[in-house]
Structure 1
């Protein structure tokens, strides 16, 4: 019996492409991958990487246009709270003594990449 494969929604494909672009960009900046797409009930951590001795939690945001706000502006206080809660859950099973930093990689439709370290 053949099963029909469901195509991914275009916004999910764009999101995956933006995460891959951010991951590759950060690799060129010397960061080392630890985990991708950690999911829990609080939300998702897009990228977790090491920047020397610092564990970096990275939120990747993509906006095709700035019509409704930039990619960076879309990281609201509510979104930050969810990322922090998900980080607590991640750390409960992946203990570390390393310092932790929260970064945002904002990618615009024209290909510009803004890497904001210590974003919140």
Structure 2
């Protein structure tokens, strides 16, 4: 799937490059289902990780972290659950976020849904 916005595509490219430098292996990019989209699905060691990429040019209104509202988190969680139903894996899983705020280095939040 090709993103409509080049800035969003660049953020996902930067996120994937960052995760790759940290030893992650790509499973899928922009995986779609009826519940929404998962930006990146990667293996972080033996853990399957669903990664939400958020980009904000400024920190007003909470920046990239502030854009992770309850509705967005629920959508990502439902999409991840559906992925696991259609791609069963016995491995542990988690949902992470990579946040970009006016800095080429993202903030990596692990296990954002607890």
Fold in common (TM above 0.5): yes
- Matched residue, 2:108: 115
- Matched residue, 2:83: 90
Which of structure 1's runs of 4+ aligned residues deviate more than 3 A?
none
3-state DSSP of counterpart to 2:63: coil
Which runs of structure 2 are paired with 1:18-57 in the superposition (5 Å)? 18-57=11-50
Deviations 1:9-39 (A, max 9, x none): 6xx1111100000000000001110011011
In structure 2, what is the Cα distance between the partners aligned to 1:112 and 1:31? 16
In structure 2, what is the Cα distance between the partners aligned to 1:50 and 1:110? 25
CA drift at 1:93: 1.5
CA drift at 1:110: 3.4
In structure 2, what is the Cα distance between the partners aligned to 1:98 and 1:31? 15
Gaps of 5+ in 1: 1-7
What is the aligned-residue RMSD (CA, Å)? 1.4
- Matched residue, 1:104: 97
Gaps of 5+ in 2: none
Rg comparison, structure with higher value: 1
